[in-house]
Amino acid sequence: MRPFIRASRLSSALPLLALLLLALVPVLGTALDQPFYITFFTRVIVFAIAASALNLALGYAGLVSFGHALFLGIGAYSVALPTVSGHDSALMHLAIAVAVGGITAFVTGLISLRTSGIGFIMITLAFGQMGYFLMVSLKQYGGDEGLPIPGASSAFAVSLGHPLVLYVVCFVILAALTLWLGRLRHAPFGMVLRGASANARRVNALGIPALRHQLTAYTLSGMLCAVAGVLLANLDAFASPSTMAWAVSGELIVMVVLGGMGSVFGPLLGALAYLVVEEVLKGYTDHWMLVFGPMIVLVALLGKGGLTGWLERLDQRIRRHVVSAVGPSGTTQETQP
């Protein structure tokens, strides 16, 4: 019975089932002749990638960044600006997004990490809004009206303008990123981040520079979020300063918190729950936020850990029930008459 107890973890089984269903979306969408499903779930996966990137800083390192939409916008404009100039190379777009996103994250992180708590939140918010107003002021690149992207990124004769190709690329990136974050969580680097999140002074007392590790995590997080921006630009065929707005940063934070900060599958569950429920509610009422807000509060009231934490607590209840039924030795207990 012990293998059964280990295999019955809903906190692992349900996210893996969600990944499996996402892998089948192109097949189902094509079979049902519903391209909307492919487009919609591509958006879900893109935001799951962005939320996973934020989770590295927020969930692992404890850095509450309210400006991660800046990196999402950098990725989007890394596609828009070169494409308008006639350069549609996906490798070029990716290189620009990673380089500019990484440099920006390093510089802003170096400044922001001089503070903590509410100070860190406000500084990251300020940097995000600086990027927003910068792109609004550039009228030659669309200003606040945004910039249409005339063509999609392409590499090796494969264009991300095709919905199925874009979906597969997005899914592979999400799966690889989730696997990497799962391994990182228990790697020495990840353990230092989690330790610094709990108590940075104790980590420093051990001779480990917590600030250096947090800055590295913040920089990697910005780079990964910029990659999500590249995918988002190819999905929308449009780049807009609104992508950098503080509201988008807030949505990413809600996705991470909703799914479970610091968990491997939390960003995926959070993005799925947030965007799917939002889409369903929009179909019923224009005032969907009046319903959606209390629902998020209700999930928060379920306890620390969001959806992942709720599944883990359910696992514990199932495990205690099974153990009490089979006994400590693994044999079924018989009740005495």
3-state SS string for the chain: CHHHHHHCCHHHHHHHHHHHHHHHHHHHHHHCCCHHHHHHHHHHHHHHHHHHHHHHHHHHCCCCCCCCHHHHHHHHHHHHHHHHCCCCEHHHHHHHHHHHHHHHHHHHHHHHCCCCCHHHHHHHHHHHHHHHHHHHHCHHHCHHHCEECCCCCEECCEECCCHHHHHHHHHHHHHHHHHHHHHHHCCHHHHHHHHHHHHHHHHHHCCCCHHHHHHHHHHHHHHHHHHHHHHHHHHHCEECHHHHCHHHHHHHHHHHHHHCCCCCCHHHHHHHHHHHHHHHHHCCCCCHHHHHHHHHHHHHHCCCCHHHHHHHHHHHHHHHHHHHHHCCCCCCCCCCC
Predicted confidence at residue 315, as pLDDT, reads 82
Q: Are 226 and 74 in contact (CB under 8 A)?
A: yes
Quick check: is 277 in a domain?
no
Quick check: is 86 in a domain?
yes
Predicted confidence at residue 309, as pLDDT, reads 84
Quick check: is 307 in a domain?
no
Predicted confidence at residue 163, as pLDDT, reads 93
Encoded tokens for 49: 């990638």
- CA–chain centroid gap for 96, Å, is 21
Distance separating the N- and C-terminal Cα atoms of the chain? 25
Quick check: is 68 in a domain?
yes
Domain count, the chain: 1
Tens digits of pLDDT across the chain (337 residues):
443 334 457 778 889 999 999 999 999 998 888 899 999 999 999 999 999 999 999 999 999 999 999 999 999 999 999 999 889 999 999 999 999 999 999 999 999 999 888 999 999 999 999 999 999 999 888 888 889 998 889 988 889 999 999 999 999 999 999 999 999 988 999 999 999 988 888 998 988 999 999 999 999 999 999 999 999 999 999 999 999 999 999 999 999 999 989 899 999 999 999 999 999 988 888 888 888 888 877 777 766 788 888 888 888 888 887 777 765 555 555 544 3
Quick check: is 18 in a domain?
no
Quick check: is 25 in a domain?
no
Predicted confidence at residue 327, as pLDDT, reads 59
Contacts of 226 (CB under 8 A, 6+ apart): 71, 72, 74, 75, 78, 97, 98, 100, 101, 102
* 4/91 Cα distance (integer angstroms): 46
Question: Could you give phi then psi for residue 232, rounded to 5 degrees?
Answer: -65, -40
Contacts of 99 (CB under 8 A, 6+ apart): none
Quick check: is 14 in a domain?
no
157 lies in which domain range? 38-267
Quick check: is 3 in a domain?
no
